Chains A and B, each alone.
Chain A
Amino acid sequence: MLGYLIRRVVYAAFAVWAVSIISFFIINLPPGDYVTSYIAQLAIQGNIIGAEEAESLREYYGLDQPIYVQYLKWMNQIRQGNLGFSFEFGLPVNDVIGERLILTMILAAATIVFIWIVAIPIGILSAVRQYSIWDHTFTFFGFVGLAVPDFMLALVMMYFSFVLFDFSVGGLFSPEYVSASWSLGRGIDLAQHMIIPIIILGTAGTASLIRITRANLLDELRKPYVATARAKGLSEWRLILKYPVRMALNPAISLTAYILPFLVSGSIVVSVVLGLPTVGPILLKALVAQDMFLAGGIILLIGWMTVVGTFLSDLLLVWADPRVKFEGR
């Protein structure tokens, strides 16, 4: 148990480090350094900076030093909770991202809950009533759900909700709640607006979870202990829910860790299409404007979020499936 935990912590730490290296690499990709863009930005606003001042700025950010020193300086800033300054918004990166990051997390978490609630009962039904009309219907929808890219699903949903219901999907809040502080009303409003994005984001994950639950449960149902329990006269549904379903759920838990990165990726694209106030549209805007501290900060934070989420679902798996503890992986 302890060995498994330590190994997981080490992997997570390594992944956190890898994400920071990648984010720093992306920040440094565009030609020219931070100060050059900063000066150009100030010049547009009419502030001309002298060569001397530019030099001192470069020194402050460590731009005259080797790349690893720059990296360490950047990481040190982040340790103090400072992600740098965004030109595009004229605000510190922290202020730009703030609530949007929380909304991104809420969206991802809610989608996972949705996937679980929808996929597991359907998976069980498909396995218990194998080759029934329900099974075929869900298998077909599962294939389509896996095949259609998120952004296209968003476009299609937008089209149909406009044509059929004359309702335009977009945003996560009604106008009166956009800049209000958190309250119960705002929470309810958010929940109502999240339904369609959650369905769009969750479709692919739901499809794969249905397939996996179905396949695992079918394997379990063929095992002798099921026949034994049935012979002893246990009622059918109680039998299925009590033993084989419990076994079949473990792979479903480990799938959660696997789909989390896809969900976060998908939420970026879907948010751009539907105009959701998550980090997605900001990331796109920052990248197009080459506002690299903002872009790098967003990539860093959602990367870390994903690593932590994966780590948590690994812990969940240990709790749900005691065999993992003894596995000598």
Chain B
Amino acid sequence: MESNPVEHELALEMEDTVEERISVASQRQLIWWRFRKHRVAVVATAIIVIFYTMVIFADFLATNVPADSEAFRGLMPPQPVHIFDGWKPSPHVCAVSGARNPITFQKDYVTDCTEKIQVRLFARGYEYKLLGVIPTDRHLLGMSDDTLRPEDHIYLLGTDKQGRDMYSRLLFGTRISLTIGLFGVVLSLVLGIVLGAISGFYGGLIDNLIQRLVEITRSIPSIPLYMGIAAAFPHDWSILKIYFAITIIISLFAWTDLARVVRGRFLTMRDEDFVTAAMLSGANQRRIIFRHMLPSFYSHIIAAATLALPLMIIAETTLSFLGLGLRPPAISWGTLLQDAQNVQTIALTPWLMIPALPVILVILALNFMGDGLRDAADPYSN
């Protein structure tokens, strides 16, 4: 190696500072550094953050009231936004008008791009309360007031059979599907942690019993089972009641995974020195479990929860798709996709399939994010 002695010195010094940085870093920092290296997981996390932002600001992002139905504008094709008019920047959508075909009795729509509907940011639309408190009528995107004619409309992703705006419905469906998964994970976590902790901490007969319960639960096909339970909900239940009942059902889908992760961790940790030390200094069992043991594998629990979330979202979407989960007028990804159940609709009105894209995107992103978290959860390995 022919290298300048000064440079060599510098390199050594830098190596020292890097090592020092690592040795004094907190566990949280180490996890973050490790997670950051996993590029795909970082991108996936950004996607998830964007989706949850959409959940919070669904009203602001929507262009129409999602429940507004009008039979005469049913199954209208999407109106994409054009940013340029020729070379001049002038955001607009093309007008779509339709008439009933006298022979087939189907609605035929014609997109007429000579007739432009100007759109702008922060336009006025229907009134709502931002974050549930601030009353306003501003929306991210909408038709400009000054050129607006009464017959103009904007349906970015087309309309469904009842003439409701798919784009706004998709936003509100995202809100329901993503929050129901989150609540489901919380419930599932409680169940999984309690049973897993009991199983792993005490061992012996209780552990054996709980493990058999987990095994049997896993060996029974879950969808038919939960279909059976969900079908028994009375038809007069309110949306809110159904929402919570479904949350409980989908939380049953994933608790076994979480219980296994927690149990495994407890088993390996039971004999660690710091647990013995806590026992010797007279801490009671609850304190040992919740103050000493659980915090040392929070990161694992978060990773397991992230991986459980897509399972819940799939479960809710599947049940609602079959008509046994959330029911209209509730909007979720599953109820939206119900309209795309047969070949005719898929072939004639492919935009009804659009809700499939966010489902796949979110589930993929959550899986990648969970994988990254799981790899980063143990920063002391290697």
Of A11, A14, A149, the residue contacting B318 (CB under 8 A) is A149
Give the contact stretch, choosing among A51-59, A179-187, A218-226, A282-290: A282-290
Is A122 at the interface (CB under 8 A from chain B)? no
Is A1 at the interface (CB under 8 A from chain B)? no
- Complex interface: chain A residues within 8 A of B218 (CB): 258, 261
Q: Is the interface of B mostly helix, strand, loop or mixed?
A: helix
The answer for the CA separation of A26 and B231 in the assembled complex, in Å, is 9
The answer for the CA separation of A283 and B364 in the assembled complex, in Å, is 30
Which A140-182 residues have a C-beta within 8 angstroms of B? 143-144, 146-152, 155-156, 158-159, 162-163, 168-170
Is A306 at the interface (CB under 8 A from chain B)? yes
Residue of B nearest to A152 (CB): B356
Of B222, B346, B367, the residue contacting A159 (CB under 8 A) is B346
A147–B322 CB distance below 8 A: no
B360–A15 CB distance below 8 A: no
B194 to chain A, nearest CB (A): 21
Is A324 at the interface (CB under 8 A from chain B)? no
B231–A295 CB distance below 8 A: yes
B223–A155 CB distance below 8 A: no
B360–A147 CB distance below 8 A: yes
Give the contact stretch, choosing among A61-69, A87-95, A268-276: A268-276
Which B309-361 residues have a C-beta within 8 angstroms of A? 310, 314, 317-318, 321-324, 337, 340-341, 343, 346-347, 350, 353, 356, 359-360
- Complex interface: chain B residues within 8 A of A30 (CB): 231-232
Which B202-232 residues have a C-beta within 8 angstroms of A? 212, 215-216, 218-225, 227-229, 231-232
Of A18, A162, A299, the residue contacting B216 (CB under 8 A) is A18
Which A1-43 residues have a C-beta within 8 angstroms of B? 11, 14-15, 18-19, 22-23, 26, 29-31
Of B212, B231, B322, the residue contacting A290 (CB under 8 A) is B231
A6 to chain B, nearest CB (A): 15
- Complex interface: chain B residues within 8 A of A143 (CB): 364, 367-368
Which B60-100 residues have a C-beta within 8 angstroms of A? none
Q: When A and B form their complex, what is the total count of cross-chain residue pairs whose Cβ atoms lie within 8 Å?
A: 130
- Complex interface: chain B residues within 8 A of A31 (CB): 234
Is B363 at the interface (CB under 8 A from chain A)? yes
A328 to chain B, nearest CB (A): 14
The answer for the CA separation of A151 and B347 in the assembled complex, in Å, is 17
- Complex interface: chain B residues within 8 A of A22 (CB): 220, 225
- A155-B340, A268-B227, A295-B231 known; A146 vs B367 contact (CB < 8 Å): yes
Which A249-294 residues have a C-beta within 8 angstroms of B? 257-258, 261-262, 264-266, 268-269, 272-273, 283-284, 287-288, 290
B232–A303 CB distance below 8 A: no
B221–A306 CB distance below 8 A: yes
A269–B346 CB distance below 8 A: no
The answer for the CA separation of A170 and B343 in the assembled complex, in Å, is 10
Of B224, B322, B359, the residue contacting A152 (CB under 8 A) is B359
A136 to chain B, nearest CB (A): 12
- Complex interface: chain A residues within 8 A of B363 (CB): 147-149
The answer for the CA separation of A162 and B349 in the assembled complex, in Å, is 13
User: What are 25 contact pairs spanning A and B, CB under 8 A?
Assistant: A11-B212, A14-B216, A15-B220, A143-B367, A146-B367, A148-B360, A148-B363, A156-B353, A163-B347, A168-B343, A169-B343, A261-B221, A261-B222, A265-B221, A265-B222, A265-B224, A266-B223, A268-B224, A268-B227, A283-B227, A288-B231, A288-B324, A295-B228, A307-B219, A307-B220
Given contacts A18-B216, A257-B219, A268-B221, 7 further A-B contacts (CB under 8 A): A26-B228, A30-B231, A143-B368, A152-B360, A163-B347, A261-B222, A303-B225
